[in-house]
Structure 1
Amino acid sequence: MFTTSLGEDGAELRPLEPWRAEEFLAHMERGREFIGRHITLADRVTDLASSRAYLQSYADKAASDTGRMYGIWLDGGLVGGVLIRTMDVVLGNAEVGCWLEPRAAGRGLVTRAIRLLVDWLFEERGVHRVEWQAVSANTASLAVAKRLGMTKEGVLRESYPYRGERHDVEIWSVLAPEWRA
């Protein structure tokens, strides 16, 4: 439906919808090990049916106005994505997140894409608070939160069981007045 430029490097942000399940699965195959270091996405999308179901879950969230998912394309290929994992417009709260293939890391793509989502959440949807959660070991993700001017609120100690281990999760956020300043 739309494409939004993420800058001079030709990167684009587009809706990531169920009809792109094959492309999404191929992307997961390329980046599975890297993506799966910290998030469950790589373990949840393992075949065409699970790829389609995952994308459909976000299409359903978009339809119910509780979330969104967008892909990041670079040189014509899907290399990652950003999402509004949860969104409650009545309460004014949302949580955003991301993932990338290794070849797309370190280019600022996630920071640029999340900035667009946060702008939209605050300016178009009237959300008051945007949250970012990441395991403490995911330093690249935490760096995005810092670059976006988010405030670290705390650590949920050993709250995230993943691949047989329990991980600390850091909670970061930014409020609408802070973002506008």
Structure 2
Amino acid sequence: MFSIPLGDGAELRPLEPWLAEEFLAHMDRGREFVGRYVGLADVVTDLASSRAYLQGYAEKAAADTGRIFGTWVDGVLSGGVLFRTMDVRLGTAEAGCWLEPAAAGRGLATRAARVIIDWAVEERGIHRVEWLVATGNQASIAVARRLGMTREGVLRESFPHRGERYDMEVWSVLAPEWRAGGKPA
């Protein structure tokens, strides 16, 4: 398995089904923090659902329609980044991230997202990378800004989560902008 150093004792690696127990333990540590805005925390609740979630992404990777990677800090799974969707033919992908509380505020999500976006643009020919984020999720909005993304608008009350409907901001970066250093052309 490959590992990409992110600095500060952190590394990026694929999250695969055989890591289901470690993934579940990670979700258990960060469930409430992650679950404030991200549905992942409510989907991965036991070993079977953890394995199924990772298997779903293994199938997406095999079909070239999505990817998931974990961020390990000092050997402990502490967060991750993913392409929830990826359409190579159309040249579009939706990226996202999550971290447990102990890993937050260190720039890890931004560094990890840079790695996968660069791969998507340069290796897979993705032209447009989207980032959908609840309007209250200021940490994820800050990641989108640091990635040089442009805020395109708001999908009003489009995301039902834990009994509420959240407005979702749409951010994106286009391949020419990414290659120019993440700033809009």
TM-score normalised by length of structure 1: 0.99
- Tell me, in whole angstroms, the C-alpha distance in 1 between the residues paired with 2:52 and 2:92: 25
Superimposed CA distance per residue, residues 96-141 of structure 1 (whole angstroms, 9 cap, x where no aligned partner): 0011000000000000000011100110011100000000000000
Residues 77-92 of structure 1 aligned to structure 2 (within 5 Å): 77-92=76-91
Aligned amino acid, residue 107 of structure 2:
G
> Which residue in 1 is equivalent to 2:114?
115
Q: Unmatched 5+ residue regions in structure 1?
A: none
CA RMSD of aligned residues (A): 0.5
Aligned length: 180
The offset of 1:171, in angstroms, is 0.1
> Which residue in 1 is equivalent to 2:36?
37
1:38 alignment partner, SS class: coil
Q: Unmatched 5+ residue regions in structure 2?
A: 181-185
> Which residue in 2 is equivalent to 1:165?
164
The offset of 1:42, in angstroms, is 0.6
Residues 1-181 of structure 1 aligned to structure 2 (within 5 Å): 1-7=1-7, 9-181=8-180
- Tell me, in whole angstroms, the C-alpha distance in 1 between the residues paired with 2:101 and 2:155: 27
Moved over 4 A (4+): none
2:171 alignment partner, SS class: strand
- Tell me, in whole angstroms, the C-alpha distance in 1 between the residues paired with 2:165 and 2:79: 25
The offset of 1:31, in angstroms, is 0.4
Aligned amino acid, residue 10 of structure 2:
A
What percentage of aligned pairs have identical amino acids? 74
- Tell me, in whole angstroms, the C-alpha distance in 2 between the residues paired with 1:127 and 1:180: 12
Aligned amino acid, residue 4 of structure 2:
T
